[in-house]
Chains A and B, each alone.
Chain A
Amino acid sequence: MKKKQCIAMLLAGGQGSRLGKLTTNIAKPAVSFGGKYRIIDFGLSNCLSSGIDTVGILVQYKPLILNRYVGTGESWDMAVQDGGVHILPPYASETGGEWYEGTADAIYHNIDFIDMYEPENVLILSGDHIYKMDYNIMLTEHLDNNADLTVSVIEVPWEEASRFGIMSTDDEGRITKFAEKPKKPDSNLASMGIYIFKWKVLRKALLDDHDDEKSSHDFGKDVIPKMLADKKKLFVYRFRGYWRDVGTVKSYYDSQMDLMDDMEHINVFTKDQKVYSNSNFYPPQFIGPKANVSDSLICNGCTVYGSVSHSILGSGAIVGDGSVVEDSIVLPNAKIGRNCKVKNAIINEGYETEDNAEIGDPDGEVAVFGRAKLSI
């Protein structure tokens, strides 16, 4: 088998507890996004458009929908002979079984997997970010700098900088300081949680980290500060574009509305760096004789009899006769009955409302309604 220049490890095991009901029974990377997508589509599609055909997906929290959704990776053109997607759950060994304890620990437990491909570099990704990025450009910089680690960073407003892992750099972009959620930040370059490591360097760092009893086995908290202290060559790669960590219900809602309101942000209609999904077996949407749909994104499989404005309807969603849906996101296969009023609401996947229901606070915060129903 050919040796790989770079393979990707996609961290998809987190619960995303701040997303509340959205992640009650679905891992955050598998949460529906933008109607027909799931959050992990963005990372996987970025890999495809960057020519990375080997991806390990580290799963742990409620992975059933995620596993099924990713499947063989065919939807992202990754059903290839010498690579492809690999779902990597925690597994038992001679000394017993252990859960992944942190981001670095998850990779540590899969050292053998990475060794199988003998890559020069390993790209570490989060499975829960919304962005389009060509990792090749980052990889080229990483190679040009002969860096041990390149961290993708994005400029954030100074007042928000204390919420992020902040990198300070010299003029060449070499990282001089790393501060996790600093009270008084001296830079506004925030880590996006996207790293390219030289595999040899990372491999050693992971073994050391595993032996360190004080470590919480996290890249941001432990591994990267240690590498910095060891005078390894750490560089930043500045990403300029739309990037969101949809960590809260509000940011989850806002970034989907961004996708609809301003296609400059993350245009899913463009053919270059296309975002792919695995939700393509629905018939075309049907818009009924008395329906009224405006300023909205509607997916295949939807049936609309009522009125929908400034909203997103996920694949297979149904809006009954006489219902009004405004400023809302209806997730795949949810069903709004007849004569309902839905405003500022996120209706969970597969959830069915009663007829005449009034859902959402017209003047208040956006909230999630219903428990997701698992189905295929």
Chain B
Amino acid sequence: MKTIGLISANYSSSEFGELLENRSLASLPYGGRYRLIDFALSNMSNSGITTVGVIAPYDSGSLIDHIGIGSPWSLGRKSGGLFVMPGSAYGLQSVGSRFLLRDLIKSRRFFERDDADYVILASSTDVWNIDFGPVISQHEESGSPITMIYKKIPKGEDYYGYFLDIDEEGKVKSINTEGYAWSNYFTDCFIVDREYMIDFMKWYETLEYMDTVQIIRDNMDTMNIDTYEFKGYLGKIKNPVDFIKVNQDMTDYDIRNEVFCNIERPIFTKAQDEAPVFHYKEADVRNSLISAGCRIEGKVENSIIFRSVNVGKGAVIKNSVIMMHGEVGDGAVLNNVIADKYVSITDGVKIYGTKDAPVVLGKDKKI
């Protein structure tokens, strides 16, 4: 059965300060060489989906620069391929779900011109590696027009968003926001019959200012919604604290293997071509991810270093994320710091954030 994909990137958050000053959350650098949207795009591509729409955010420059015509995800195609569609001027702020109905209606042609049976709608900022194949198969058998993907999480864990109350047959009974009481966390990704989606947009046209999942929640009694359980890793980033944590999750053997080292489903990104990393004699790197083009003379621990970062002699970097082209001077000390692209730290400067309040250094900053 033919499936197409639609990725919503038209939302932002005010919690990231300078990190999102000139970019969308979807194009936030992550994991040493990626942007968050790489996961959604790679998941679609690895599941054999060859027509993918992206609803662009208002501040779309860095996102469009990154995804281009979609060739890294095999989406630079004659038939199908990547479609970038402008989102509406006011995208969603960080709320439960990410599918502003107005944006879907604006992209109506994307749904109408294709003859696919199903559409997978996914948000653009989650870190996960999922095979949509089994989701599509289960959806096909279920007879429901919508299947929502959820993950069981331990009660009390600090997730935000929607939680599903599911009956014995696996159908959704209700959708709730009081997460702490529920453990079926909605991944902000669902599959829907394409024709049903077209009808849905007509039925609820007057509610175009609302999020699609919110509309589903409010009209549960008229809908038959199936569920699919995702059992893998799901990294959600809602603020700088999560950002460091979800980056550091990739130093965990099992998580890294699942997300990054799956030979059948690699995560693709725009190709950069940097030299191998040179670790000098004095270098001391522990439990960290280092990307190509770096030259390391100092100490790096529990940190993520993007490409072409220079770490000077005697410098110490701990629990930090240093984005591309950073310069960390000799003897500088960084702890719980997020440094955006081209940040330059002078010799000997010491910057300490804390686990709960990391220091964020904006692009091009010199300290």
Residue numbers of A with Cβ under 8 A of B are 34-36, 75, 260, 268-269, 274-277, 280-281, 283-300, 312-313
Are A280 and B273 interface neighbours, CB within 8 A?
yes
Q: Which residues of chain B in 279-324 are interfacial with respect to chain A, using CB atoms and an 8 Å cutoff?
A: 279-293, 295, 300, 304-306
Tell me which of B268, B276, B280, B286 contacts A34 (CB under 8 A).
Answer: B276
Structural contact, B32 and A298, CB atoms closer than 8 A? no
Contacting residue for B279 out of A35, A268, A288, A294, CB 8 A = A294
Most interface-central of A274, A284, A299 (chain B CB within 10 A): A284
User: Count of chain B residues with Cβ under 8 Å from any Cβ of A?
Assistant: 38
Cβ of B358 within 8 Å of any chain A Cβ, yes or no, is: no
Q: CB < 8 Å: which of A280, A285, A294 contacts B289?
A: A285
Closest to A276 in B: B273
Q: How far is the CB of B121 from chain A (nearest CB, A)?
A: 27
Nearest B-chain residue to A280, judged by Cβ? B271
* Inter-chain contact A35/B285, CB cutoff 8 Å: no
Contacts of A287 in B (CB 8 A): 285-288, 290, 300
Residue B83 is within 8 A (CB to CB) of chain A in the complex: no
CA distance A263 to B271 in the complex (A): 24
Are the C-beta atoms of A289 and B287 separated by less than 8 Å? yes
Minimal Cβ-Cβ distance residue in B for A268: B275
Bound form: Cα–Cα A36–B292 in Å: 10
Question: Chain B 73-108, CB within 8 Å of chain A: the 1/0 string?
Answer: 000000000000000000000000000000000000
Give the 10 A-B residue pairs with the shortest CB-CB distance, closest first. Answer: A284-B32, A283-B260, A284-B291, A35-B276, A268-B275, A289-B287, A284-B289, A297-B276, A287-B285, A280-B271
Provide 12 A-B residue pairs closer than 8 Å at the C-beta atoms, listed in order of the A residue: A268-B275, A269-B293, A276-B273, A281-B266, A283-B260, A284-B289, A284-B291, A292-B284, A294-B284, A297-B278, A297-B279, A298-B290
Bound complex: CA A366 to CA B284 (Å): 27
Residues of A within 8 A of B280 (CB): 294-295
B binding-site residues for A, Cβ under 8 Å: 31-33, 250-251, 256, 260-261, 266-268, 271-273, 275-293, 295, 300, 304-306
Please indicate the chain B residues that have their CB under 8 angstroms from the CB of A275 in the complex. 275
Instruction: Across the interface, name the chain A residue whose C-beta is closest to B251.
Output: A286
With A36-B292, A283-B31 as known contacts, state yes or no: A298 contacts B276, CB within 8 Å. yes
Residue ID in chain A nearest B306 by CB atoms = A284
Report yes or no: A36 in contact with B276, Cβ–Cβ below 8 A: yes
Q: How far is the CB of A250 from chain B (nearest CB, A)?
A: 22
Cα separation A280 to B261 with both chains bound (whole Å)? 14
Whether A283 and B276, one on each chain, are in contact in the complex, defined by CB atoms closer than 8 angstroms, is no
Question: With A36-B276, A268-B275, A299-B277 in contact, do A281 and B268 touch (Cβ < 8 Å)?
Answer: yes
> Is A300 in contact with B291, judged by CB distance below 8 angstroms?
yes
Residues of A within 8 A of B304 (CB): 284
Docked pose: A295 CA to B280 CA in angstroms: 4
Residues of A within 8 A of B283 (CB): 293-294
